Structure 1
Amino acid sequence: MDVFFIMWYSIAILQLGYWGIVFQRLVWYRPLQNHTICSFPGVSIIICARNEAANLQKNLESILLQDYPIFEVIVVNDDSSDESLDVLRTYEGQFTHLKVVHLRNKQRQGKKEALTKGIAQAKYPWILLTDADCKAASSNWIRQMYQQAETSKSAIVLGYGPYTRAKTWLNRWVQFETIYVAIQYLSFALWKIPYMGVGRNLMYRKSLFIQENGFERHQHIASGDDDLFINAVANNHNTAICLHEDSFMYSNPPNSWKALYRQKQRHYSTSTTYKFKHKILLGLLSVSHFCFYLGLCIFIITNNWTNSIVGIILLRTLLMHLVFGKYLRKVKQRSFLKYVLILDALLPIYYIIFASSLMGQQNKTWK
């Protein structure tokens, strides 16, 4: 039992390190402010859409009506078989800054070919990515994302893409995981260890995409147009984050556990190819989280407690609530805090049900 205690204390120290040090950088983050920006460069917004007629009708105007001096919207119609083309033609007649690119007879599965074609058509120096099912929180989305790039002199800006809320446990779980993942990748970016971004809200220089030969390094993997690209090109001096509420891009969450499973399948198929240091840092976080609660279950079963064990559990809980509480306030979801403790305790079960069955699998499609 002494060996077990030593192992659990080691795991607990790791958890305290993540919640008490690593994620605290995000807690106290304040966006850089620069009120002297007089000119704004052109921005090309790229949206890849496959059978997204309904979402395009619902969301595209929030992109087209952005308050920004110079921008274009490029929608790549990725071999759609629904009414997407009719919807896009209608918008083309109304907005001169909308360009529709048609992709037929794809050579590869996944989104990368469509995205590459869209970026090739972009005429402005900055690329801003989102999806057809995303709606901008405000008309200042582009302006806020670029302001962080200019103020920090960065080539990459990682934005936030929350999901719309509903009163179901599936939705609460998706919200929790989205928030938890955002805490991770935004915190690591602030520590100058950026490892991923989300394609719902991601900005980078077109020259960076060309310089790195686009998705060439991971072309054989269908997914990963966002996180694998950032994992390959982001470094300790070229990446900033944007957490202004006007910059959020809202989208609809998976509407079933099966849909969530497919989404996680895509994620795990890419995360296994991250850089070694990122896999170590993320692996230690997940393993220590799982083992922390495993040890807690053993303590409950054996009724084997000490004051130091109780103290560590309370300290971790306090630090976790501080991180989630501050972050939820930043992203205007403060009311979600009441679910955090129970969902955090359920996360090890999620690792067992989802992660163990997904590791090593590769997803072949993006839609």
Structure 2
Amino acid sequence: MSTLSLETGKWAQNQVTPKRSSAQKKRANLRDVAKVAGVSVATVSRVLNEPSVVKKDTLEKVQKAIDELRFVPSAAARAINSGRTRFVGALIPTLDNAIFARFLAALERKLSDDGLSLIVATTESDLEVEAAKAKGLVNIGAEGLIVTGVSHSEEFLDLIERTMIPTIITSYYDESNVLPTIGYDNEAAAQLALQHLIDLGHRRIAVVHGPLHNNDRTLARLSGLRSLRWDGELKSFETEISLRGGAEAAGQIMGNRENPDAILCLSDVVALGVLFGLQSKNVRVPEDVSLMGLDDLPSSAVAVPALTTVHLPVSRMGERVASALARWISSQKIPKPEKLEAKLIKRSSTAQNSEPVGKSDC
């Protein structure tokens, strides 16, 4: 700050350090609150962690002291006093996919209703990374874990067995799994999509899917397609799960001598990329080729043409997982497996095949 010297008549630069009031010297703690309220530290702890068991007049005194001291509870201190951290960890393959974003939004919202917080870790579909990050979450006090799919490393499964931490599998339904699963039947969801194309008279169908490595959901969907008995032909194309991956797959598919009469993508993200790729080649959807996805992302409904797809109830899955995990943590009651039904969503990207059955050339 600049000040004028009365002796020299010149301006001088003075470093002025503002004084801190006594209230600013340190952060208030439980003992401070207890002293001001005239109660024990244990009583303050009960007010913070279990207010329903505290008498009304005591609750009011403690709350008044908290307000006066501007006391903010320390998460670490509360964990020490209560023995609970009140957070759970979710391990997902990536954040770069709208379907996981929708799931996490519903999961976090419902966990919050039950007084739990959420920490998210990404695994890039690497089972070793998943095990390492799961261990890290357990080490910092996670009370439960949420994981994607049924494929996990021995190290991960050993961690769950040793710690007995409540753990729920999502995006997959398997009633025989040692861990409870809350999700959908991936085989049935894929068959629902394929059956729709078969019913429209399509017989040469290209299937576009993401990487198979460590992705049991995609493997299950492909298994479902191959087990459905019909008289047509399926050709599979693997690509990255992105708009670019879908566009590149469209180039591969339409570059073949014999073009398909329908394209089935095992995710909406890829399907939208395929749509863009087809449009860049002046291939009309659905006049020249029917196109459908699997997920039912919000963007699919506003695409041109709107994308026929299979709705996966990911938001409901997030809510159901949150409720089941919260109950498991609080009551030690292991939830039962729960299957959420997929649903066919018919839009304008698929149409009846006008080509006579049996014709082999496009």
Give the TM-score of the pair, scaled to structure 1. 0.22
Higher relative contact order (CA 8 A, sep 6+): 1
Q: Indicate the structure (1 or 2) with the bigger Cα radius of gyration.
A: 2
